[in-house]
Structure 1
Amino acid sequence: MTNSLRELSDNELRLSAKSVFTYAHAGNVSPEILDSPILFADYRSLHNQYLSLYNTSDDDTVKTEALKRLIFLNWYYLAEPNLLTNIPQLDDETMFEAYRILNDLLKAGTLDDEFNWMLAFYSKWDYTILQFAEDGLDELMTFVKDNRWEIRRPPAKEWITGKMDNRGQMGKYLTALSETIL
């Protein structure tokens, strides 16, 4: 049975609640806790469930949302320290498969505006994507190289308000970004 997007979002937020950053914010961090493997919940299964949902769903909206979250987790895992993300490891094959699907969508020109913005934003950290795009994902490689030097502002709070609820770490991150930087 495949989990729904809402269930996956809830699971993701439960996992992220165990991060060192969360503990630090609560004032509960000691040197022992900082090194504790208990804080590093495994996102690997959750990440694979997003890919499974993409592959098994007949609903294009669900497929697109599952792929957005996959791509976000791919980027987040490599762009931010695991003390903040609570993501100790993701499966390289799942990461590549998500990028392969994204490459096909870029080739078809079917990404929505939100996905285009997200991918352009992630392109600033080109190393998080290009290492996977070198294996024949030419459309993705071109997109990243064309966008990595473009100035990307965080999404405007008005653009993001209400659109990021129940969207896992991606929703939490983009909401925080729009509220703190602008």
Structure 2
Amino acid sequence: MSIHKLAEKELRLNLIVTSLKGTIEEKEAQILKLELPAEFKKIHFEYAEYSNENIEAIKRGLFLFWFSHSEPMFLTGICEIDEVANGKIIKNIEKILDADKMDFELSWMLSYYKEWDWIFANYQSHEKFYTALIRSNVLLPKINKEQMFNRGLMGKYWNSLN
């Protein structure tokens, strides 16, 4: 599935999640019955597969990992992300760091995520990544809403901050 199709699928799944009614427990039960976490896990896995060659896939995959830990399942539909797939994304971030090809957008994303550094505690052995995360100090810029369209939940989230 293409990166563009993955973004569309994320937003379709998100529409389902946001349309659910009931208590937190009822929404979570509906999410599990609809197997939405498994669908998000597949999307994340696809981003990990693309992450060797595509920085956009790295950004979206890392976002889904962060989002799965920073927000509750009844709001996101996400409750489990493949740790091996996420490790692949982290390794590809380290390759970007080694090549000195970190772009501004990924830099400010890491700065934002470091406020939840506990989410990435299992990746302390990836020293280059973890050091870049902890030392990152780029202020969140004014989000260009047009640039965030068609970028799945990541784009929707960043646009919600402006």
Q: TM-score, normalised by structure 2?
A: 0.86
Structure 1's unaligned 5+ residue stretches are 58-62
Residue 146, structure 1, aligned to residue 141, structure 2? no
Q: Which residue of structure 1 lines up, in the alignment, with residue 94 of structure 2?
A: 103
1:168 to 152, 155, 158: 152
Q: Which residue of structure 2 lines up, in the alignment, with residue 29 of structure 1?
A: 22
Q: Identity across aligned pairs (percent)?
A: 29
Whichever residue aligns with residue 29 of structure 2, its letter is D
Instruction: From the superposition, tell whether residues 131 and 34 of structure 1 become closer, same or farther in structure 2 (CA, over 3 Å).
Output: closer
Give, in angstroms, the shift of residue 125 of structure 1.
0.6
Give, in angstroms, the shift of residue 47 of structure 1.
0.8
- 2-side partners of 1:177 and 1:6: how far apart? 22
Q: Which residue of structure 2 lines up, in the alignment, with residue 60 of structure 1?
A: none
- 1-side partners of 2:138 and 2:115: how far apart? 9
> Alpha carbon RMSD of aligned pairs, Å?
2.0
Residue 38, structure 1, aligned to residue 33, structure 2? yes
Higher helix share goes to which structure?
2
Give, in angstroms, the shift of residue 33 of structure 1.
4.0
Structure 2's unaligned 5+ residue stretches are none
Q: TM-score, normalised by structure 1?
A: 0.78
Whichever residue aligns with residue 168 of structure 1, its letter is G
Q: Which residue of structure 1 lines up, in the alignment, with residue 81 of structure 2?
A: 90
Instruction: From the superposition, tell whether residues 33 and 113 of structure 1 become closer, same or farther in structure 2 (CA, over 3 Å).
Output: closer
Whichever residue aligns with residue 79 of structure 1, its letter is S
Q: Which residue of structure 2 lines up, in the alignment, with residue 16 of structure 1?
A: 14
- 1-side partners of 2:42 and 2:49: how far apart? 10
Q: Is the 8 A contact 1:18 1:39 kept in 2?
A: no
Give, in angstroms, the shift of residue 120 of structure 1.
1.1
Q: Is the 8 A contact 2:107 2:138 kept in 1?
A: no
- 2-side partners of 1:123 and 1:94: how far apart? 20
Q: Is the 8 A contact 1:54 1:66 kept in 2?
A: yes
Q: Which residue of structure 2 lines up, in the alignment, with residue 7 of structure 1?
A: 5
- Alignment deviations for residues 107-135 of structure 1 (CA, whole Å, 9 cap, x no partner): 32211111111111111110112322x22
- Alignment deviations for residues 139-172 of structure 1 (CA, whole Å, 9 cap, x no partner): 112122223xx5844x42xx42200010000000
Equivalent pairs counted in the alignment come to 158
**Pair member with larger Rg:** 1
